[in-house]
Amino acid sequence: MLNFFFKKHYLKDLLVDFVDIHNHILPSIDDGAQNIRESIDLIKKLKELGVKQFIPTPHVMQDFYPNTDETIGNAYQSLLENLNKQIQKGITINPAAEYMLDSSFEKLLDAGNLFTLKGNYVLIEMSYFQPPINLEALIFKIKTKGYIPVLAHPERYAFYHNKLGNYDKLKQQGCLFQLNLLSLDNHYGKDVETTANYLIDKGLIDFTGTDAHHVAHVDKLSRLVLNKKTSEKMVPIIRNTNTTFSVI
């Protein structure tokens, strides 16, 4: 017999007035929105999902997306010029960046001119093949320069899936963790979903974001159903994200 009192826990119900600290809505700048039309479609969809504040985080990656203050600023300005007032109503857009820990990052760090999420929080990522050899030293240097490192999607680094103790080491070094919301499903694969749940259960996740690159990502998020336990554990993570990065 069907249980008509069963309540589905939709992720989107938790995202009212959400501050999305990781997305790729800026046009023609990385592997996210490829043009203004795609940017606008992404913003409209994310706004419908519940996003109130957008922090676009284009990749800064030497070999693929060597973005600079100028390229990010130009893409941001182009987006604002093409957004009509109706879409802009009730939202804010403040750009940052997602920095790959590659050979060029340390030079940017030394220059001290990083695009931060807010204040001194800086979003970083690693290669999916292996961590930087000098990862510990890089994190230490980020902190000595006055920044707080926020590691994007730690659950997606397969080289840690069988070495879970490395997550504890990163946290002890002062690295904060940002979970991708699509990792709550098997979008990136079952191992990523399992690791995401492990990190949540261990209380290691600090923040979350969509990491939306195109509208298909947002459509999937809008349909995503969580179990009751995960839904309850995501509430404080989402609240902490909103509280830490809200500019309103």
> Cβ(206)–Cβ(240) under 8 Å?
yes
For 214, what's the count of Cα atoms within 13 Å in the CB-facing half-sphere?
7
pLDDT single digits (tens) 165-183: 999 999 999 999 999 999 9
Please state, rounded to an integer, the average pLDDT across all residues of the chain: 95
User: How much is the average pLDDT of 103-129?
Assistant: 95
Q: Is the per-residue pLDDT at 2 higher than 50?
A: no
SS3 124: strand
What is the residue type of 203? G
Quote the pLDDT of residue 14.
98
End-to-end alpha carbon distance in the chain: 48
Question: Which CATH number is 10-245 given?
Answer: 3.20.20.140
DSSP, res 98: E
Structural domain boundaries in the chain: 10-245
Sign of CA dihedral 223, 243, 241, 169: negative
User: How much is the average pLDDT of 89-104?
Assistant: 96
Q: Is the per-residue pLDDT at 101 higher than 70?
A: yes
The closest alpha carbon to 76, from 106, 103, 115, 108, belongs to: 115
In whole angstroms, give the CA distance from residue 121 to residue 224: 28
pTM over 0.85: yes
